[in-house]
Amino acid sequence: MVLMENIDWLNYKGLEYRDGNLFFNDVSIIELSKKYGTPIYVISEQIIREKYRTLKKVLNSEYKKNHIHYAVKANSNISILKILNTEGAFFDCTSQGEIYTCFKAGIAPERIIYTGNMFTDNDFEFAVKNDVLINLDSISQLDRLVKIYKSLGKEKKTISFRINPEFGAGHHIHDITAGKEVKFGILEHQVVEAYKRAKHFGFERFGIHQHIGSGINNPYNFEKAAEKYFSIIKKLASSLKINFEFIDFGGGLGIPYHANEKPLDLEKYKEIVVKPFKKLIYVENLGEPVFKIEPGRFLVAESCVLLTQINTIKDNGYKLFAGVDAGFNILIRPTMYGAYHHIMACNKIRGKKMLKYDIAGPICESGDILGKERELPELKEGDYLTILDTGAYGYAMSSNYNSRPRPAEILISNGQPFKIREAETFEDLLKNQIIPDHLK
Ligand code: LLP
């Protein structure tokens, strides 16, 4: 695979070399690394806004009554939520903690959909008390939810079920979320029963939902699932006379992680998902439900780079390693999914002397490799590297493994850096531990 970065690709990613130094969104990332230390996540406000606007424009061009719910799990930093809130986004949450964070960002409950799975009664109580729309993942949960409504004396809101359309897609088996073997949603043969039951319990307003997987770059991978979903909606609408308030197609929109990949063709996505949706509601006379999607990665992945410094160059006679200060505690995607993140030298452009390095983090496992056999200009200890496209599922999946504090996050807005999260300290590592008296 050829992985040379060309100028267009760099520009598309908001990157540019000026006098041999890499700039991200008009800011010198070496200067940022020196000012704040490494590792650090650097996020561009402008890129998040651009991604949102691009997607919104495509949807609006076909069907105006649409809501883009940002999947908070991708990156739940409050500043990111606030940026998207000011753009008019809606939000998709998977836990009470995400809903709580949205509230702290000033997001109104009516802009949130709560798509959990394996909901506890406590989850339901939290959502019902806070007037958040619930998207159920199993029929049995309905019975429990009804009890919670009763015990809290609250009026029943809109209810929705997550459908498993059996045709899933995604960049890794862990992220394909449809299929008979998969834990999510309700299969076709139980869908009518689910809504019938909900009607029986007195629910009067309905939505419907599917999410087939994550990291889908080929728009045709949405096609079969969409067809199946449409046929299920058709069946439901005709057998139970349901007028849906919304029809949700989930997230999954991919981004080009490789330098030779093309961005997802949004016009094709529109052809495959939005146009047939419009046709369905017209032909089946379904009124004007809200068209919803829930992208996470698409909105934030490309807004962020992870900066790391090389501390060790090791040539073991077989392989060259560039040892850096970021490991899989900070970015787990390469280790967990074999995911590719493009890596570039911050202070050296590609030249005559290119060498192949494994970029190795400091975690005590051989799996702590952020990039394998990456062709880079000859590197030295003290050089800086930037790891691209880390805005989605980067910080959000980080941990304190090996007792390493998590890094800071810096937001670039109009060319100015703002620290939006402090790096953790050693005290943070210990703050929830309690030493029993006999060990004091
Ligand atoms: N909606 C639901 C119900 C979801 O479960 C997800 C992601 C999304 C929306 C957003 O999907 P996106 O647009 O970001 O693809 N940790 C993995 C990705 C896990 C995605 C889980 N669900 C990764 O790093 O690739």
Please name the residue ranges forming H helices in 348-433.
Answer: 426-430
**Over residues 63-80, mean pLDDT:** 98
Q: What is the pLDDT of residues 125-164, one digit of tens each?
A: 999 999 999 999 999 999 999 999 999 999 999 999 999 9
In sequence order, the β-bridge partners of residue 91 are: 70, 112
User: Would you put residue 410 in left (φ > 0), alpha (ψ -120 to 50) or beta?
Assistant: beta
Q: What is the pLDDT of residues 185-223, one digit of tens each?
A: 999 999 999 999 999 999 999 999 999 999 999 999 999
Domain with CATH 2.40.37.10 in the chain: 7-44+301-430
Residues near 317 by beta carbon (within 8 Å), at least 6 away in sequence? none
Report the first-to-last Cα separation within the chain, whole angstroms: 57
Q: Does the pLDDT of residue 376 top 90, yes or no?
A: yes
Domain with CATH 3.20.20.10 in the chain: 116-295
Report the largest interatomic distance among the alpha carbons of the chain, rounded to a whole angstrom.
73
Q: Is the bond leading into 39 cis (omega within 30 degrees of zero)?
A: yes
Q: What is the pLDDT of residues 386-406, one digit of tens each?
A: 999 999 999 999 999 999 999
* Other CB atoms within 10 Å distance of the CB of residue 88: 12
Q: Look at residue 7 in the predicted model and tell me its pLDDT.
A: 83
Q: Does the pLDDT of residue 4 top 60, yes or no?
A: no
Q: Look at residue 260 in the predicted model and tell me its pLDDT.
A: 86
Domain 7-44+301-430 bears CATH identifier 3.40.190.150: no
The vertex-228 CA angle with 127 and 253, nearest 5°, equals: 65
In sequence order, the β-bridge partners of residue 416 are: 413
In CATH terms, 116-295 corresponds, of 1.10.150.120, 3.40.50.740, 3.20.20.10, 3.30.379.10, to 3.20.20.10
Q: What is the pLDDT of residues 404-440, one digit of tens each?
A: 999 999 999 999 999 999 999 999 999 999 999 999 9
Instruction: Quickly state the pLDDT bin for 5 (edges 50, 70, 90).
Output: confident
Q: Does the pLDDT of residue 2 top 70, yes or no?
A: no
**Euclidean distance between CA atoms 8 and 237, whole angstroms:** 47
pTM of the model: 0.97
CA of 421 to the centre of ligand 1 (A): 23
- Residues enclosing ligand 1, CB less than 6 A? 71, 73-74, 92, 115, 175, 211, 214-215, 250-253, 294-298, 333, 337, 392-393
Half-sphere exposure of 393 (CA within 13 A, CB side): 19
Whether the CB-CB separation of 63 and 290 falls below 8 Å is answered with no
CA of 74 to the centre of ligand 1 (A): 7
Q: What is the mean pLDDT of the chain?
A: 96
Residues near 342 by beta carbon (within 8 Å), at least 6 away in sequence? 3, 5, 257, 258, 259, 387, 388, 389
CA of 119 to the centre of ligand 1 (A): 18
**Euclidean distance between CA atoms 192 and 246, whole angstroms:** 17
CA distances from 375 to 3, 14, 316 (A): 8, 21, 17
Mutational test site, ligand 1, from 51, 73, 336, max ligand atoms within 8 Å of CB: 73
Of the candidates 127, 111, 123, 228, the residue with the CA atom closest to the CA atom of residue 168: 228
Q: Look at residue 235 in the predicted model and tell me its pLDDT.
A: 94
